[in-house]
Amino acid sequence: MSAEAVLDLEHVTLAHGTRRVLEDATLVLPPGSVTLLRGCNGAGKTTLLRAMLGLTTPNAGRIRVLGRTPRAARRRIGYLPQSLTLPAPRLTGRALVTSARHGARFGVPGVGGRCRAAVREALALVEAENLADQPLATLSGGERQRIGLAAALVDAPDLLLLDEPLAALDVQRQAALTEMLERLHQTRHLPLVLSVHGASPLDRLATHEVVLEDGHIVTRG
Ligand SMILES: Nc1ncnc2c1ncn2[C@@H]1O[C@H](COP(=O)(O)OP(=O)(O)OP(=O)(O)O)[C@@H](O)[C@H]1O
């Protein structure tokens, strides 16, 4: 586990054009924390997660993730976006997860035995081995989400950012994913930031809660 704070925001403002999503926010999420990021539609959860990855630049203030700039931290982060874009209709889950391994490096990574084993392990963690060789376009939303999660896990990240990870899952899968994340947190001490709407099965994992409301942050330890 990194000894650095998961997230350190100092007077951060995030905006899309003239629309301010977060205003002068200051926040520290300690090492090893599991944070639920709550807020209604359009509150700014995705914008904040993208800022943690360096995909959105703050208009003001300073962001540190695992003690680094977001761009420098990015290759240590596993990210599950709200929905996966499909770059090619016949792309399989296994190909997607394989390409996510060492994805921060330039060029196409070599696919050796260790890479294949890491891909198999990530797919097994989310119980998606039987889906891995089908084109992603033929999978259901929930099945695709499990593949996306395997892609987020395959590079042994030091931090997981999951944008509404339970949204497309049925109740049984929600419980299974919650247990899997709990195991990852307990065994690998992996810090998590999970965006959710309302009450969620993930609530029981949380050490911290960040509520986004009208451009401001409310935290609870
Ligand atoms: N690329 C963009 N350009 C302009 N405005 C944007 C862009 N992305 C998001 N926004 C706006 O920023 C605000 C925050 O959006 P964001 O997606 O971060 O919210 P969210 O909390 O993740 O919402 P949801 O729960 O619906 O996914 C919204 O008003 C949205 O319309």
| 213 pLDDT above the threshold of 80 | yes
Q: Are strands 19-29 and 159-163 parallel, antiparallel or unpaired?
A: unpaired
Which pLDDT score, from 0 to 100, does residue 85 have? Answer: 79
Position in ligand 1 atom list of the atom nearest CA 47: 18
| Mean pLDDT in residue range 12-27 | 94
| Mean pLDDT in residue range 180-202 | 91
Which pLDDT score, from 0 to 100, does residue 120 have? Answer: 95
Residues with Cβ within 6 A of ligand 1? 16-17, 19, 21, 39, 41-47, 82
pLDDT band at 89 (very low <50, low <70, confident <90, very high): confident
Tell me how far the alpha carbon of residue 55 lies from the centroid of ligand 1, in angstroms: 14
Position in ligand 1 atom list of the atom nearest CA 48: 18
Which pLDDT score, from 0 to 100, does residue 122 have? Answer: 95
> Which of 37, 76, 77 is closest to 205 using CA atoms?
37
C-alpha distance across the termini of the chain, in Å: 20
Ligand 1 pocket: which of 14, 21, 217 to mutate (most atoms within 8 A of CB):
21
ipTM: 0.96
Closest CA to ligand 1's atom 28: 42
| Mean pLDDT in residue range 32-52 | 95
> Which of 96, 73, 202 is closest to 150 using CA atoms?
96
pLDDT band at 199 (very low <50, low <70, confident <90, very high): confident
If one compares 221 and 58, the residue with the highest pLDDT of the two is: 58
Closest CA to ligand 1's atom 10: 16
What CATH topology corresponds to 7-220? Answer: Rossmann fold (3.40.50)
Tokens in use for 5? 């704070």
| Mean pLDDT in residue range 147-153 | 94
108-139 in b/e burial notation, b at 16+ Cβ within 10 A?
eeeeeeeeeebbbebbebbebbebbeeebeeb
Among 24-28, 60-64, 89-93, the least confident range: 89-93
